[in-house]
Amino acid sequence: MEILVCIKQVPDDSVEVHLTEEGKPDLANITPVVNAFDTYALEMAARLKEAGEGEITALCIGGEEARNSLKNCLAVGADHAYLVQEDRFDGSDSRGISHILMCAAKKIEEDTGKKFDLIFCGKEATDAALGQVGAELSEMLGTGVITNVIEVEFAEGQVCAKQETEEGYRLIETASPCVLTVTKPDYDPRYPTIKNKMAARKKPIGTIKAQDLSVLEPEKTGEGGAFVKTLKLYEPPKKEAGIKIQEETAQDSALKAVAMMADAKVF
Amino acid sequence: MDMTEYKDIVVYIETADKSPVKVGLEMLSPARKIAEKKGGKVRAVLIGDGIRTAAQKAAESGADEVILIESPEYEIFHLDRFANVMESVIKEVKPYAVFVGGTQDGKDLAPKLAARLKTGCASDVMDVKTEDGKTVYTCPLYGGTVLQDVVMETSVPQIAVLRSGAFKKSEETVKGTITEKNIPAADENIRLKIKDVVKEISETVNLEDAQVIVSGGRGMGSRENFELVKQLADLLGGVVGATRPAIEDGWISRVHQVGQSGKIVAPKLYIACGISGATQHVSGIMNSDYIVAINKDEDAPIFEVANIGIVGNAINVLPVMIEEIKKKKEAE
């Protein structure tokens, strides 16, 4: 069983992002991390691998700093890692990103002679929560896609997954290869052991450039190839802060608050 | 490409229990706005089985034409099948834009269509406006602390996933027509097999239409304490909301989740109990008329958006509030 896990490096989503004076996201002091949903995808893939056999390849598009994220993946279940590092891909929209991932997956398959049975993605990223890449990628690969997966089984070329819904779940089957997008399952991703961290440091991370991608259509990538073009970024107007109540006791604070709410006729 | 021939707006209206979902009807008002600028029509599409009443509702809610595709094969949502139907409708109508509601299934359908039609897709759209003849979509970044205006003028149709609760239902009473179309389920591109649809959560929670919401977060501390949130909600005739941590700790089911990855709400009164105010949560409550926050940390970001902020432990504050509100209500 060969598994590909596509990951994105994003700024730590527990930190608020604001714009610089130039109107660009100010990410200078925010730690880059692997997108939370991608860590769930990797954990699900790792459990699947451990229950059977096979290998996991992690794939990321990004700059030099994204190597660190791939190292982290190598420490928690990934056997191989590749970074698509190409400045001209910056500014790609979801279609562009999906196209690049598709080309990179094909390139890895060509090089290793293996075929991916399952392609995992997080259901969306925490920085731009679009949730488009899984569906787009599956169309480009001509495979099925099961989204919002919380459980998966794989046997004899058939994939059966539990898709979380608002009211429960759907049980969906499709043939491999296929794309799976993962949401938060019942479990948390594992932490790397020191031993695994050390081992991950020694593992190579393959670099993929545009020229390595035999089926690349460059006109689909980068800012120029994007269907979705950004006009501007701005911050939403701040809501004016109201009154803060901090009396001697919780009792007094509560009474004062209720009196104010009654005056405002909100109940 | 000559874009002037593309004028119509196709609105995919999802149904749940044979009724149009809320965002489905909400989308008709921005669709109307853009269609008028383009000189085109609003064409709603409904796919399902036994949904004629839903189609009528859409026809009375601001669609010029409702395209109704009914078949037992479409009784439950099937991504591949519904994408096939939408693709064939879109190819016939040749719209300028396709609006899809930001439900779980809508979020899957839209990018699938975008890939097939080789066009762009904007997600989680909070506002749609026209600038210099271009349609501009406003989308959140980083959980909503930054907004992004995007355009998709180089391909047709532009596809947009509109956020639930971000648009007001149209007050117009245009009487639209209903066109029945027979589009049999094709075998082509069918890759998924839905083996089972399981309802685990039977309660229905209508956060989106609620006038009063009382929400609890991690600061409630335990499932037992979370009962206080429910008590206050009951007393005010409101609905219980929750943050992701409270749901992950199992205090309440996930249908109660408020925020970016849950429901976007706009009640008259929102009471946040033991909620610090992470961006993902706050961006989902910003349209509330009046926000009351209770948190023991006086620097909690929730206080920046609250009309009244009570600095104190919600577990101590809530029982007093409940008693006092009871008294005031009885005195009325």
Span B35-49, average pLDDT: 97
Mean pLDDT value across chain B: 94
Residue B3 is predicted with a pLDDT of 66
Name the DSSP class of B237. Answer: T
Residue B174 has pLDDT above 90, yes or no: no
Q: Which of B124, B188, B308 to mutate to test the interface with A (most CBs of A within 10 A)?
A: B308
CATH of A2-225 given 3.40.50.620, 3.20.20.70, 3.30.70.260, 3.40.640.10: 3.40.50.620
Span B284-301, average pLDDT: 94
Locate B36 and state its tokens.
């008028």
Residue B134 is predicted with a pLDDT of 96
Inter-residue contact A70 to A205 (CB < 8 Å): yes
Name the DSSP class of B213. Answer: E
Residue B165 is predicted with a pLDDT of 84
The pLDDT confidence band at residue B200, using thresholds 50, 70 and 90, is confident
Alpha carbon separation from B152 to B159, B232, B273 (Å, rounded): 9, 46, 41
Distance CA A224, CA A219 (A): 7
Distance CA A145, CA A70 (A): 24
Residue B2 has pLDDT above 70, yes or no: no
- The separation between the first and the last C-alpha atoms of chain A, rounded to the nearest angstrom, is 59
Alpha carbon separation from B204 to A67, B51, B142 (Å, rounded): 45, 20, 30
Alpha carbon separation from A135 to A192, B108, B276 (Å, rounded): 30, 7, 34
Dihedrals phi, psi of B85, to nearest 5 degrees:
-65, -50
Q: Which of A17, A261, A263 to mutate to test the interface with B (most CBs of B within 10 A)?
A: A261
Element (H, E) at B51: none
The pLDDT confidence band at residue B23, using thresholds 50, 70 and 90, is very high
Residue A251 is predicted with a pLDDT of 94
Residue B84 has pLDDT above 80, yes or no: yes
Alpha carbon separation from B130 to A210, A247, B7, B54 (Å, rounded): 37, 49, 14, 30
Span B3-8, average pLDDT: 85
> In b/e form, how buried is each residue of A187-209, taking b as 16+ CB within 10 angstroms?
eebeebeeeeeeebeeeebbebe
Residue B1 is predicted with a pLDDT of 55
Contact B254 A166 (CB under 8 A): yes
Taking CA–CA distances from B199, the nearest residue in chain A reads A168
Give the tens place of pLDDT for each residue, B109-167.
Answer: 999 999 999 999 999 999 999 999 999 999 999 989 999 999 999 999 999 999 988 89
Q: How far from chain centre, in Å, is Cα A107? A: 21
Q: Tell me the mean pLDDT per 10 residues along chain A, length 267.
A: 97 93 95 97 97 95 97 98 97 98 98 97 96 98 98 96 95 98 95 96 97 97 97 88 91 95 92
Contact A170 B111 (CB under 8 A): no
- Chain B contact present for A51, CB below 8 A: no
Tell me the shortest Cα–Cα distance from A203 to chain B, in angstroms. 32
Element (H, E) at A108: helix A94-112
Locate B165 and state its tokens.
């609760």
- Chain B contact present for A152, CB below 8 A: no
Inter-residue contact B174 to B197 (CB < 8 Å): no
Q: Which residues of A touch B292 (CB under 8 A)?
A: 257, 261, 266
Check the CA dihedral B317-B319-B324-B326 and report its sign: positive
Name the A residues in 24-43 with CB < 8 Å from any B CB.
25
Write the DSSP assignment of B118-182 as a string of letters: T--EEEEE-EEEEETTEEEEEEEEGGGTEEEEEE-TTSSSEEEEEPTTSSPPP------EEEEE-
Tell me the shortest Cα–Cα distance from A251 to chain B, in angstroms. 6
Residue B294 has pLDDT above 70, yes or no: yes
Dihedrals phi, psi of B109, to nearest 5 degrees:
-65, -45
Contact B197 A168 (CB under 8 A): yes
E strands, chain A, are: 2-7, 9-11, 32-34, 55-61, 80-84, 118-122, 144-155, 158-164, 168-175, 178-182, 206-208, 229-234, 243-245
The residue whose two tokens read 């009570």 is B310
Inter-residue contact A103 to A40 (CB < 8 Å): no
Contact A145 B112 (CB under 8 A): yes
Distance CA A192, CA A202 (A): 15
Contact B115 A95 (CB under 8 A): yes
Tell me the shortest Cα–Cα distance from B206 to chain A, in angstroms. 12
Residue B186 is predicted with a pLDDT of 85
Distance CA B73, CA B223 (A): 42
Element (H, E) at B91: helix B79-93
Name the B residues in 52-111 with CB < 8 Å from any A CB.
79-80, 104, 107-108, 110-111
Tell me the shortest Cα–Cα distance from A48 to chain B, in angstroms. 21
Residue B202 is predicted with a pLDDT of 77
pTM of the model: 0.92
ipTM score: 0.94
Residues 6+ apart with CB under 8 A from A93: A225, A226, A227, A228, B120
Residues 6+ apart with CB under 8 A from A18: A25, A26, A235, B145, B146
Contact B194 A172 (CB under 8 A): yes
- Chain B contact present for A255, CB below 8 A: yes
Inter-residue contact B38 to B7 (CB < 8 Å): yes
B24: β partners: none
Domains defined for chain B, CATH in brackets: 3-181 (3.40.50.620), 212-331 (3.40.50.1220)
Residue A227, Cβ density class (10 Å: 0-12 exposed, 13-18 middle, ≥19 buried) = buried
